[in-house]
Amino acid sequence: MNGEDQEEANEFILRVKESGINVNKLFIGQISPVLAVHAGPCLLGISFYEFSE
Give the pLDDT of residue 22: 83
Asked whether the beta carbons of 28 and 2 are under 8 A apart, the reply is: yes
Containing structural domain, residue 9: 1-53
Asked whether the beta carbons of 31 and 45 are under 8 A apart, the reply is: yes
pLDDT tens digits for range 1-53: 666 677 888 898 899 889 988 888 888 887 777 877 787 777 777 887 877 77
Give the pLDDT of residue 20: 87
Kindly report each contact of residues 46-53 with a partner whose C-beta sits within 8 Å and lies 24 or more positions away, as own/partner. Answer: 46/1, 46/12, 46/16, 47/1, 51/24
pTM of the model: 0.62
Give the pLDDT of residue 2: 64
Q: How many domains does the chain have?
A: 1
Number of H helices, E strands in the chain: 2, 0
Cα atoms found within 13 Å of the Cα of residue 8, Cβ hemisphere only: 12
